[in-house]
């Protein structure tokens, strides 16, 4: 297992095969964008930043860690035959867990690539390129770097901040930096991005609205750091409200009309998508989106009818979050026995679910998506890391802030817009439980619920721990069956909960053992960055 410093040094020199697609997805190789002969025109800058949206760097995180860490840890899904997933599900995680290692290494690979682009533009771009164009390209890379650091901070807490890859050649041993400084670094990058990115751009590229939405989310998370008495920092809540509210009210963006259709490849990069990974077909193993290949409930609906090796089983705890009216989101997110999906294996007459499984990200085969070169290693789904609906709910939570309830008009308007799109009734009052439940249902299997729980644990650790343990006490973190004749879901009573009791330490992942071996300084107390 390569450590982060080895990977970053390798990225300074080595080439990696990049995905191919039209427009800005015609990516250059990593060796090309590291060359002194690159960055001579604005077109070069655009190609360089295009390399940051997918490929091998994002593959390790998106395919091996995003859903396992974001949803399995949180009790949303599980798979009992993969030892690494079982560790996440049962809170018995070790430093040898491959999914945890892939998450850490993948995110630092993204950061290394961002650093390469940022520093090269600053040092090599000629005066003939307009300053605004240089700043916009740097802002694009800083946005993506901030997203990577945000996930590192949420999952591992105090982590090393790296801005210059070349310094690792001289001194590859790194200290971790204190959590508050990591979030400060994230906010700094996102602020720069918000100020220098355009308000509109080519489809799929991030904009100032993307940065402001992510900045609102970051401030909402930061507001609880260092707090433990149930109250968050009001100034940071106000900042979250400011940036998320600006996106909600002034961007001109709107939710996609259909929640169900939002996750079809035909609707990739809709205006609701503020940041999505730009995967292409036919790029080979390790460079494309293969989420559905592993987690689909069956190979019948996949390209070349291959895959479905680790059909992710939604938990009973997730299922019972859906109300009787919340059928659109439920069917778009999880399959129940007897559900019919005409868009999957359409040429074969569609697909009727033979059991319970994950539906989101399962988009079908190459014919279903009019993508002849699509194979098991390269789904053409552009999975969103930040959606407008997420920002709507961030804004509502920032308004609620430290209050027990709110009937604020703006909070209710944007919160209920999410529910209206799903076809469920509006609410008249918001409280923390209502918000967490709505976020869980809206964003299930998008790697978000564990982030929400970590944010909760920052400022109210006792109740956050209780929430996890209550999942086990009520037998929620286990699979279930569904009878399509009686419409009754029955939890699996033959497999009692086996998760270890949660403590506050459960909210921080262990640093991979390979990293501790190559850099013993990671075991030392974190130090300030600023």
Dig out the tokens for 173 from the structure: 């041993």
Least confident of 3-12, 41-50, 147-156, 215-224: 3-12
- The model's pLDDT over 315-356, given as tens digits with 9 standing for 90+, comes to 999 999 999 999 999 999 999 999 999 999 999 999 999 999
Distance, CA of 224 to CA of 218 (rounded, Å): 11
Predicted confidence (pLDDT) at residue 10 exceeds the cutoff of 70: no
Sign of CA dihedral 444, 265, 140, 285: positive
Q: How many CB atoms lie within 10 A of CB 170?
A: 6
| Angstrom distance (rounded) from CA 288 to CA 367 | 18
Q: 8 or 208: which carries more pLDDT confidence?
A: 208
Which of the 8 DSSP states describes residue 406? B
| Residue 493 confidence (pLDDT) | 77
Q: Which residues contact 188 (CB under 8 A, 6 or more apart)?
A: none
Asked which of 37-51, 196-210, 364-378, 402-416 is least confident by mean pLDDT, the reply is: 37-51
Instruction: Give me the DSSP letters along 375-405.
Output: -TT-B----EEEEHHHHHHHHHHHHHTT-S-
Distance between alpha carbon 241 and the CA centroid of its chain, in Å? Answer: 21
CA distance 90 to 445: 18
pLDDT tens per residue across span 397-410:
999 999 999 999 99
Is 80 exceeded by the pLDDT of residue 35? no
Task: Give the separation between CA 320 and CA 24, rounded to whole angstroms.
Answer: 42
d(CA 523, CA 390): 35
Q: How far apart, in whole angstroms, are the C-alpha atoms of residue 3 and residue 211? A: 30
Using DSSP bridges, classify how beta strands 384-387 and 357-358 pair: parallel, antiparallel or unpaired: unpaired
Contacts of 356 (CB under 8 A, 6+ apart): 297, 313, 314, 334, 335, 336, 337, 479, 480, 481, 482
Q: What is the pLDDT of residue 333?
A: 98
**Tokens 């605004």 — which residue?**
132
* pLDDT band of 156, cuts 50, 70, 90: very high
What is the Cα–Cα distance from 476 to 469, expressed in whole angstroms? 10
Q: What are phi and psi for residue 319, nearest 5 degrees?
A: -55, -40
Q: Tens of pLDDT along 166-199? A: 888 888 899 999 999 999 999 999 999 999 999 9
> Rounded to an integer, what distance in angstroms lies between the CA atom of residue 348 and that of residue 353?
14
Phi-psi region of 286 (alpha: psi -120 to 50; beta: other; left: phi over 0): left
**How high is the pLDDT of residue 206?**
98
| Tokens standing for residue 151 | 């996930």
Dmax (CA) of the chain: 71
Query: Strand 273-276 relative to strand 384-387: parallel, antiparallel, unpaired?
Result: antiparallel
pLDDT in tens, 267-326: 999 999 999 999 999 999 999 999 999 999 999 999 999 999 999 999 999 999 999 999
Query: Which of 244-258, 456-470, 487-501 has the least mean pLDDT?
Result: 487-501
Q: What digits encode the pLDDT tens for the residues 201-251?
A: 999 999 999 999 999 999 999 999 999 999 999 999 999 999 999 999 999
Asked if 183 and 218 touch (Cβ cutoff 8 Å), the reply is yes
- Distance of alpha carbon 304 from alpha carbon 361, whole angstroms: 17
97-107: b (≥16 Cβ within 10 Å) or e: bbbbbbbbbbb
Question: What does the alpha-carbon distance between residue 410 and residue 416 come to, in Å, rounded to a whole number?
Answer: 10
Helix, strand or coil, per DSSP, at residue 354: coil
State pLDDT tens for residues 97-139. 999 999 999 999 999 999 999 999 999 999 999 999 999 999 9
Residue 16 pLDDT grade (very low, low, confident, very high; cuts 50, 70, 90): very low
Cα(78)–Cα(75) distance, rounded to whole angstroms?
Answer: 8
- φ, ψ of residue 79 to 5 degrees: the values are -150, 115
The mean pLDDT of the chain is 92
What is the Cα 16 distance to its own chain's centre? 23
Question: For the chain, which domains are there?
Answer: 230-277+387-459 (1.25.40.390), 279-381+473-499 (no CATH)
Find the helix or strand (DSSP H, E) in which 30 lies: helix 30-33
> pTM here?
0.94
Structure tokens at 165: 């890859």
Residue 470 region, left (φ>0) first, then alpha (ψ -120 to 50), else beta? alpha
Phi, psi for 290 (deg, rounded to 5): -120, 30
Number of other CB atoms surrounding residue 364 within 10 Å: 26
| Chain Cα centroid distance, residue 125 | 32
């Amino acid at each position: 297992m390569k450590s982060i410093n080895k990977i970053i040094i390798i990225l300074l020199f080595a080439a990696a095969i990049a995905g191919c697609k039209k427009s800005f997805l015609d990516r250059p190789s990593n060796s090309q964008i590291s060359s002194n002969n690159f960055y001579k025109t604005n077109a070069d800058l655009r190609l360089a930043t295009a390399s940051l949206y997918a490929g091998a760097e994002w593959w390790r995180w998106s395919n091996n860690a995003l859903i396992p860490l974001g949803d399995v840890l949180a009790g949303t899904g599980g798979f009992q035959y993969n030892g690494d997933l079982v560790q996440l599900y049962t809170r018995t995680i070790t430093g040898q867990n491959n999914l945890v290692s892939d998450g850490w290494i993948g995110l630092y690979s993204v950061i290394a690539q961002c650093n390469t682009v940022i520093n090269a533009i600053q040092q090599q771009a000629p005066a003939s390129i307009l300053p605004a164009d240089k700043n916009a390209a740097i802002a694009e890379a800083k946005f993506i770097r901030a997203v990577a650091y945000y996930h590192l901070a949420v999952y591992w807490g105090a982590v090393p901040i790296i801005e210059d890859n070349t310094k690792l050649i001289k001194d590859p041993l790194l200290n971790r930096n204190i959590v508050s400084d990591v979030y400060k670094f994230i906010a700094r990058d996102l602020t720069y991005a918000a100020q220098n990115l355009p308000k509109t751009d080519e489809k799929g590229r991030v904009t100032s609205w993307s940065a402001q939405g992510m900045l609102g989310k970051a401030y909402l998370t930061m507001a609880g750091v260092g707090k433990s008495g149930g109250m968050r920092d009001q100034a940071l809540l106000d900042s979250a409200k400011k940036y998320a509210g600006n996106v909600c009210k002034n961007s001109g963006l709107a939710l996609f009309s259909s929640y169900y259709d939002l996750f079809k490849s035909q609707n990739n990069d809709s205006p609701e998508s503020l940041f999505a990974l730009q995967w292409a077909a036919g790029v080979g193993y390790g460079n494309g989106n293969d989420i559905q290949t592993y987690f689909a409930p069956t190979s019948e609906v996949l390209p070349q009818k291959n895959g479905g090796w680790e059909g992710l089983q939604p938990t009973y705890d997730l299922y019972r979050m859906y109300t009787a009216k919340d059928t659109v989101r439920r069917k778009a997110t999880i399959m129940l026995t007897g559900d019919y999906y005409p868009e999957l294996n359409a040429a074969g007459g569609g697909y009727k679910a033979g059991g319970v499984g994950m539906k989101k990200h399962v988009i079908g085969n190459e014919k279903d998506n009019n993508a002849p070169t699509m194979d098991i290693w390269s789904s053409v789904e552009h999975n969103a890391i930040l959606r407008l609906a997420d920002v709507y709910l961030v804004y509502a939570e920032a308004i609620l802030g430290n209050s027990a309830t709110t009937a604020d008009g703006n909070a209710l308007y944007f919160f209920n817009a999410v529910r209206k799109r799903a076809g469920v009734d509006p609410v008249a009052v918001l409280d923390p439980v209502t918000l967490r439940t709505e976020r869980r249902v809206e964003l299930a299997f998008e790697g978000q619920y564990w982030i929400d729980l970590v944010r909760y644990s920052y400022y109210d650790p006792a109740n956050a721990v209780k929430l996890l343990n209550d999942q086990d006490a009520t037998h929620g973190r286990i699979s279930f069956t569904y009878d399509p004749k009686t419409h009754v879901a029955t939890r699996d009573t033959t497999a009692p909960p086996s998760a270890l009791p949660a403590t506050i330490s459960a909210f921080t992942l262990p640093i991979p053992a390979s990293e501790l071996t190559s850099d013993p300084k990671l075991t030392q107390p974190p130090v300030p960055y600023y």
